[in-house]
Amino acid sequence: ETGVTQSPTHLIKTRGQQVTLRCSSQSGHNTVSWYQQALGQGPQFIFQYYREEENGRGNFPPRFSGLQFPNYSSELNVNALELDDSALYLCASSLTRGAGASEQFFGPGTRLTVL
């Protein structure tokens, strides 16, 4: 069973640029969630995708957007990067089977630095 993978591991961008982060779900999972973790803080929920549709969103501006593909892999896109976007971005996958919650499994994260 393959776990959750993310790419790239590290990324350095400058203010105003755009970035795309990628996540491959654990085999058999149909739901992907993205979290932002600033240094020294707990992760904050960005959004979740279920069967290629956005299925919930946290308190993040529209310049944070995402996609989920038919194979359930996912992308997080951030436009017009700001210094405060510097963080560890975590992807988590899970298997949703109707109502209720399922355990989420996390990838190793992508460390984004905005200069």
Partner 1 sequence: KQEVTQIPAALSVPEGENLVLNCSFTDSAIYNLQWFRQDPGKGLTSLLLIQSSQREQTSGRLNASLDKSSGRSTLYIAASQPGDSATYLCAVTGAGNMLTFGGGTRLMVKP
Binding footprint of partner 1 on the chain (CB under 8 A): 6, 31, 33, 35, 40-45, 48, 55-56, 58, 88, 90, 92, 94, 96, 100-109, 111
Q: How far is the CB of 6 from partner 1 (least distance, A)?
A: 8
Token pair recorded at residue 77: 């896109």
Q: How far is the CB of 70 from partner 1 (least distance, A)?
A: 21
6 or 74: CB nearest partner 1: 6
78 or 91: CB nearest partner 1: 91
SS3 category, 84: helix
Residues 6+ away with beta carbon under 8 Å from 21: 6, 7, 8, 11, 75, 76, 77, 78, 89, 91, 110, 112
Q: How far is the CB of 37 from partner 1 (least distance, A)?
A: 8
Residues 2, 4: Cα–Cα separation, whole Å: 7
Q: How far is the CB of 30 from partner 1 (least distance, A)?
A: 11
70 or 100: CB nearest partner 1: 100
50 or 65: CB nearest partner 1: 50
Residues 6+ away with beta carbon under 8 Å from 92: 4, 32, 33, 34, 35, 104, 105, 106, 107
